[in-house]
A and B are shown apart, each in its own frame.
Chain A
Amino acid sequence: MTTVRKSIFIFLGGFALFLALILPLYFFGELYGASEFFSKFSFLDFILGREWSLSEQKYGALPAIYGTLTTAGLALLITMPVSIAAAVAMTELLPEWLSEKLGIIVDVIAAVPSVVVGLWGIASLGPFLSDTLYKFLVENLGFIPIFQTTTLTAYNKLTAALMLGYMITPFAVSVIKENLRLVPMEIKEAAYALGLTKWEVIRITLSYIKPGIFAALMLALGRAVAEAVAVSMVIGNTCSFSVSLLEPACTLTTLIINNFAEATGIEAAALIGLGLVLFVISILMVLVSRLIYGKLLGGYMR
């Protein structure tokens, strides 16, 4: 009898063990796939290399890392105010029923496949922005380096960042909303009792969940870094170190998505090396986010 009882958990445990092993498996797979590359090129040259050119056999990851960090960082800057404001509006300002309906819309936005967002970016958003906002920026603020460009195109870092910002916002909104709901009523009452206005109370509430917001934004940034297809459709796919937001760029994921299917040999291995960099960045973000949240749960939110 006891053996029967145990055997079912051995069966189920096998699947759980497999689940636990997926991540090490991924890491090993990436290392294995990139090994051919790293046996011929030094890791330092790869990570600090300033040029990526498959035809010239130059494999420097730096432009892609630069492109990833700038577009994802810019997307984060866009998301930050919008997601916090939207979460506040939904939990603190709007009536319950309306907030619920909006919650469904937020879920729908999160569910839109990235390739559909990319199609919208390439065919609608990009051309629209270049006719309006970008034209304005170049003509009026063109003296600022970040808005300088020789040929104005619809496909550049700013388009990618705006689109990415939109893609990661619903996720950030949901998490911040959850955090706001966890704020005890006593905290708000205490603030009201001090004669504070609604927005001053909201300010205290937001400071109460600050670590939660930070954790949410960290995960959102991770998603921006990980996004591949949509970015590749609008970023212009030309590696450069330009500071201008209106110049095209490449990222870790766009280099992979654009070249992996046709790449062989050392090229494929180099692309997998980019994947390894992406792997490390992603894991770091999740871990930092968890660390912050864990600290929060160990502190005053106990």
Chain B
Amino acid sequence: MLDNVAVSVRDLRVSINNKEIIKGISIDFPRYAVTAIIGPSGSGKTMLLRSINRLVELIPDVKVSGKIWVRIGDELHDAYTLDPSYLRRKVGYVFQKPNPFPHLSILKNMTIGPMLNGIAKGKKNLERLAEEKLKEAGLWDEVKDRLNDAAWRLSGGQQQRLCIARALALEPEIILFDEPTTGLDLYNTKKIEELMVRLKEKYTVIAVTHSVDQAGRIADFIAFIYNGKLIEFGSAASVLKSPANELTELFITGRVLDGVKV
């Protein structure tokens, strides 16, 4: 397979309680680029994202078929034969709602993953790693004097950036974002969008968003998902300027919302 593919999905089907949510999606996500997955809510965007790091398996009565290949180092691995813990360490995830461990300190939020996973050992090394990743996520200056505060005391936007930093601390290869700026103010939205663009230098970024505008601002590639199927996939410029499919055009011009033509 091609060297520039980070995640390769083949005929992915996901059903919950025998109801098919993803109905046969095949897609190759390019390496070191930002790919935005857009589509109306309920189209299966989040489920596609969760299939990549197998978080989907936490849902009871879920069935997944098809193949997902994930690049770790120089090789593509079958995600569903890897140890899920190992996979999730290599494929980071940032959730829609900021979910730091509220009761733990900011520092502990950063170090608990690397510590339990054995990525860094010793207090010094862990703290150095935390500092480095907080800086990478652009949060260090705001929290460096209050590292021992509980995380729930941070603002929503800060919490989300902490979650990004926490994901970075595991030194993943791919980072998945699930509408990470939902409900955040403009300042934090802008900061996180800039961060996602910056991250593609070292990581592969795949981001679900329901905002076409946001996709335009951050993405190199855009995938449009509708009703559990991949409708269109291409470079951001081509998808946004001259969509090949009528449904895509309806969506990016705001005429399909939540699966209903308006």
**For residue A185, which residue of chain B has the nearest CB?**
B58
Residues of B within 8 A of A (CB): 53, 55, 58, 84-90, 92-93, 95, 97, 99-104, 112-113, 116-117, 150, 152, 163, 166-167, 170
Cα–Cα distance between A207 and B87 once the two chains are bound (Å): 25
Establish whether residues B99 and A189, one from each chain, have CB atoms under 8 Å apart when the complex forms.
Answer: yes
**For residue A211, which residue of chain B has the nearest CB?**
B103
Majority DSSP secondary structure for residues of B touching A? helix
**For residue A210, which residue of chain B has the nearest CB?**
B103
Establish whether residues A193 and B167, one from each chain, have CB atoms under 8 Å apart when the complex forms.
Answer: yes
Residues of A within 8 A of B (CB): 184, 186-197, 200, 204, 207-208, 210, 299-301
Given contacts A210-B103, A299-B152, contact A186 B95 (CB under 8 A): yes
Establish whether residues B166 and A194, one from each chain, have CB atoms under 8 Å apart when the complex forms.
Answer: yes
Residues of B within 8 A of A204 (CB): 101, 112
Residues of B within 8 A of A210 (CB): 103
Establish whether residues B58 and A195, one from each chain, have CB atoms under 8 Å apart when the complex forms.
Answer: no
Establish whether residues B116 and A193, one from each chain, have CB atoms under 8 Å apart when the complex forms.
Answer: no
Establish whether residues A190 and B100, one from each chain, have CB atoms under 8 Å apart when the complex forms.
Answer: yes
Given contacts A186-B97, A204-B112, contact A196 B117 (CB under 8 A): yes
Residues of A within 8 A of B112 (CB): 194, 204
Which has the most chain A C-beta neighbours within 10 Å: B89, B100, B116, B167?
Answer: B116
Residues of B within 8 A of A194 (CB): 88-89, 112-113, 116-117, 166-167, 170
How far apart are A180's CB and chain B's nearest CB, in angstroms?
14
Cα–Cα distance between A193 and B84 once the two chains are bound (Å): 10
**For residue A207, which residue of chain B has the nearest CB?**
B103
How far apart are B229's CB and chain A's nearest CB, in angstroms?
26
29 intermolecular pairs with C-beta atoms under 8 Å apart: A184-B99, A186-B97, A188-B58, A189-B55, A189-B58, A189-B99, A190-B95, A190-B99, A193-B55, A193-B88, A194-B88, A194-B112, A194-B116, A194-B117, A194-B167, A194-B170, A195-B85, A195-B87, A195-B89, A196-B85, A197-B85, A200-B116, A204-B101, A207-B103, A208-B101, A208-B102, A299-B150, A300-B150, A300-B152
